[in-house]
Amino acid sequence: MTDAPIVTAKDLTVDFAAGRSYVRAVAGVDLTLARGETLALLGESGSGKSVTLRALMRLHPKSARIGGTITVDGRDVLAMNAAELSAYRGATTAMIFQDPGLAFDPVYRIGDQIAEAVMRHENVSRAEARRRGLELFERVRIPSPERRLDNYPHEMSGGMRQRAMIALALACRPKVLLADEPTTALDATVQIQVLLLLRELQRELGLAVVFVTHDIGVAVEVADRIAVMYAGRIVETGPCAAVIRGAAHPYTQGLLASRAGHAAARGSRLETIPGAPPDPAALPPGCAFGPRCHAFTPACAGGTPPPVDVGAGHWARCMRLAAAAA
């Protein structure tokens, strides 16, 4: 891709007020997203993946402090005023969430909510906006779309509501789609349908997608690139196949090894990462993964490991790699 990336975040930090002090949920994230590219942010609870995603939309409470820079489609997101922000949200960048039941207003018909979004951003009539809604419902393959536009959210099943939310997100033809665990609450047979739908829409509409998930399998199904987050930092990123087949960071390696997949014979024991993810308010010094790492050395506690290049567009933050490269 020759043109400039559509999303660039540099040294992104997000701090939340916790009593008198602040807790650093995102501690210096750099990411770039090319037009038409899908990036999966993979991590466990508290890793900062959802906070990073929300920062791209500036969806945090006023008390949160965001540092660094975010540029989307050539504009500085952190410098936008309220009016610019509301024009930006929905039109340039749209978001879908884990729970579509909470994303819709329960007392309005879904068709009206989509029409409202279209009319808010574009100077069109209600009839035209509804026509757009119908087109979108067909696009996300909701059966009998005309009738379904008049449904209230509770009248739809979970999978259909998720499709409707995707339709709502696409209503103003955004360039960037932010997806926060959109299939986590869905049943297996429905999850794969929604993943395939997102992949197809991404291709047809040329969307750039940031997809937050805790499930490696889901990331492999949708992503061009994977970024693995741990304790507020991206610890490894690279093309999907490179990260899955040649994981360089001990945390990524551990995650892949601990999966109860085909490789694990019944009755045997899984390889595990000891301990639990750290509390963001009390991170260990240096590499935050250090205390759980099988390759820990005193140098790991000495400072944050720098990103080390391990292949084409593939890097990881690990002292072991840094020492080998030096």
Give the one residue of 21, 45, 123, 144 binding other proteins; rule: CB under 8 A. 45
Q: Which of 82, 260, 282, 326 binds other proteins (CB under 8 A)?
A: 260
Residue 165 vs 216, nearer CB to other proteins: 216
DSSP assignment of 276-305: -PPPGGGPPSSSTTGGG-TT--GGGGGSPP
Exactly one of 34, 193, 246, 301 binds other proteins (CB under 8 A); that residue is: 193
Residue 144 contacts other proteins per CB under 8 A: no
User: How far apart are alpha carbons 230 and 236 in whole angstroms?
Assistant: 9
Count of Cβ atoms closer than 10 Å to residue 218 Cβ? 20
Longest dimension (CA), the chain: 67
Task: Tell me 79's DSSP state.
Answer: G
Q: Is 218 in the site for other proteins (CB under 8 A)?
A: yes
Residues 25, 10, 182, 193, CA torsion sign = negative
For residue 161, the cross-strand partners are none
Size of the site for other proteins (CB under 8 A): 46
Residue of 196, 281, 295, 323 interacting with other proteins (CB under 8 A): 196
What is the rounded distance in angstroms from the CA atom of residue 131 to the CA atom of residue 275? 53
Ramachandran category for residue 245: left, alpha or beta (phi over 0 → left; psi -120 to 50 → alpha): alpha
Which of 187, 203, 285, 297 binds other proteins (CB under 8 A)? It is: 187
> Binding residue for other proteins (CB under 8 A) from 53, 129, 166, 216?
216
Whether 24 contacts 89, CB under 8 Å: no
User: Which of 80, 244, 299, 322 is the binder for other proteins (CB under 8 A)?
Assistant: 244
Regarding 44 and contact with other proteins (CB under 8 A), the answer is yes
Q: In whole angstroms, how close is the CB of 95 to other proteins at the nearest point?
A: 22
CB 243, CB 39: distance < 8 Å? no
Residues contacting 108, CB < 8 A, separation 6+: 116, 152
Binding mask 275-314 for other proteins (x = CB under 8 A): -xx--------------x----------------------
Shortest approach of other proteins to residue 279 CB, angstroms?
9
Q: Is 260 exposed, middle or buried (0-12, 13-18, 19+ CB in 10 A)?
A: exposed
* Span from 18-26, 30-38, 270-278, 293-301 in contact with other proteins (CB under 8 A): 270-278
CB of 193 to other proteins, least distance (A): 4
Contact residues for other proteins (CB under 8 A)? Answer: 44-45, 143, 157-160, 187-193, 195-196, 214-218, 220-221, 240-241, 244-245, 254-255, 258-262, 264, 266-267, 269-274, 276-277, 292
